[in-house]
Amino acid sequence: MAESKRDWLAISISLLSLGIAGLTGYKTIFDQRDDVRFVVGDALKISRNKNDFVLQQDQALTFINSGNRQAVVNDIYGMLVLVTSPGDPRSQCERDLPLAKNIFLNPSQLVLKPGEIQVLQAKVPAEYPWKKEGTSLRFHEDGAVEGAANYLVCIEMYVTTPDSSSVRWVQPLYTLPANGAGEEAFEKVQPIKVLKRSYFGLS
């Protein structure tokens, strides 16, 4: 009788282990999720005084991978965009505008493992039109019209996950009006969704 109970216990443990293994296999093979988010903090924040724009050279950008697949984030850079017409800030950022002052970051890519949070410590090189002043970079707009116009600070990046092509992501971060204080163009209390998609089955 005791031996029969031990047999049933062994069978139960085996079935439980098989169920856990099956569930794990389902989650890793069939349920594939990409979920990359970006915590802005004070990244790429520019202060403006009329025609002068000042940016800190050292930047920290936080990324979260809540999905179950590895993700590569690359070609990360900011843009100081001259607003040329009324419209949604996102549409202003997504235009291929020659009137955008690029804010390059070095390094500009990172690899995120599933469930990982990483802080990208990057430095903005002192390249045209930005000039180094202490720990900051400064850009002076000479044109009277441009100096009196509104600006946006945008960020652009590409995200690549296994078996998927790169996805371009653009987001307005700050408004820099000609008169008055700048404002955040995002919800600071929560991470911004960069990429979220799910797959069922083998890809």
108: closest CA among 155, 163, 171?
A: 155
**How crowded is residue 67: how many other Cβ atoms within 10 Å of its Cβ?**
21
* One domain, residues 173 and 116: yes
161, part of any domain = yes
* One domain, residues 26 and 92: no
* One domain, residues 60 and 156: yes
What is the predicted pLDDT for the residue at 28? 52
What is the predicted pLDDT for the residue at 98? 59
Q: Residue 155 carries which side chain, given as an amino acid letter?
A: I
201, part of any domain = no
* One domain, residues 40 and 53: yes
6, part of any domain = yes
* One domain, residues 15 and 37: no
Locate 20 and state its tokens.
Answer: 């856990």
Query: What span, in angstroms and rounded, lies between the C-alpha atoms of 126 and 124?
Result: 7
161: closest CA among 31, 32, 29, 34?
A: 34
Mean pLDDT, contiguous 10-residue spans, the chain (203 residues): 61 62 53 92 93 95 96 96 84 78 95 97 94 94 86 96 88 90 86 89 52
Burial of 87 by CB count in 10 Å (0-12 exposed, 13-18 middle, 19+ buried)?
Answer: exposed
User: With a threshold of 0.85, does the pTM exceed it?
Assistant: no
What is the predicted pLDDT for the residue at 125? 96
What is the predicted pLDDT for the residue at 203? 47
Query: In this structure, are residues 126 and 87 in contact, taking their beta carbons and an 8 Å threshold?
Result: no
160: closest CA among 191, 193, 195, 201?
A: 195
Domain tally for the chain?
2
202, part of any domain = no
203, part of any domain = no
Query: What span, in angstroms and rounded, lies between the C-alpha atoms of 192 and 122?
Result: 19
Which of helix, strand or coil describes residue 42?
Answer: coil
77: closest CA among 153, 135, 23?
A: 153
* One domain, residues 47 and 65: yes
* One domain, residues 13 and 71: no
* One domain, residues 22 and 37: no
129, part of any domain = yes
Question: What is the domain extent for residue 139?
Answer: 33-195
* One domain, residues 19 and 90: no
Q: Which helix (H) or strand (E) holds 138?
A: strand 136-140
121, part of any domain = yes
